[in-house]
Amino acid sequence: MLNPLIVMTYNICDGGQGRLELIRQVILAHAPHVLLLNEADEQETVHSLAQQLGMTYVWAPGSGTKHIALLSHVPIATWKIHNRRPITQALLEVELRIDSKFPVRIYGLHLLPYSMFLPYEIARWRTIVASLRVIQAHFHVPHLVLGDFNTIAAGESLDLAIFPTRVRRLMLLQANRIAHFALRPLTQAKYTDVFRAVHPYASGRTWMPTHLAARLDYIFADPKMAACLHDCNIGTMDPAAQASDHFPLIAQFDLTKLSKNKTRAEI
């Protein structure tokens, strides 16, 4: 069994064109067993990256121009893409076989951008609610929900200074108030925000490296996986600041706890 299981979510920005070697170096620095890629816009690029890293992969189109992929050192048993309304842009559902005894499921999300605007926040909330309906069919299986959520968690802030004047003027229509409710269905369903569980006071901002303005990338764990949480950090080491407009988020899970809990349940 791989232990700890290292899981990474990474938005590589517009397909990563012209930055693939930098992206590869960032990934190698953290050596994930499972890697979710947002804005993986070209399948050929994902194929090349997977070959260089010695990983298998699945690639699937989103509902718009931004696509999603999962690369893995762990055998992929099944996968499915959900990319029709109310799910926008994509929910990638993957079952991994960690060993012969039990699976772990990964639900990779990429939600609509413009974290500050209310109509987009409503669309993100609808996508998360619809995604939880999909997850419900296999809720008993240990799983993670991760990706670029393009929203701000409740109680956290967004630095509007990074946005152009036009966007800041539009914010006046909302009295400069930023909606924070898209992630609420996950917290209500007892998922753990694993970065916050490890770092309750750190900013956690992952976008963008040249002017850290917002925490947009998350890994949420169901109660079984949350009990296995070992560590979670943001990958800021060079060349991450040049490789993408997002820093990657990396979490580690001690799966021996998962297998022990399963054994007790079977007794």
Q: Provide the domain limits for residue 89.
A: 5-266
Rg (Cα) of the chain, in Å, rounded? 18
pLDDT tens sequence across 27-43: 999 999 999 999 999 99
Q: What is the CATH number of the domain that holds 137?
A: 3.60.10.10
pLDDT at 1: 60
pLDDT at 165: 82
Instruction: Write down the pTM of the prediction.
Output: 0.94
Confidence check: pLDDT of 264 > 60: no
Half-sphere exposure of 243 (CA within 13 A, CB side): 23
pLDDT tens sequence across 50-81: 999 999 999 999 999 999 999 999 999 999 99
Confidence check: pLDDT of 183 > 90: yes
The residue count of the chain comes to 267
Number of domains making up the chain: 1
- C-beta separation of 40 from 69 below 8 A: yes
pLDDT at 266: 40
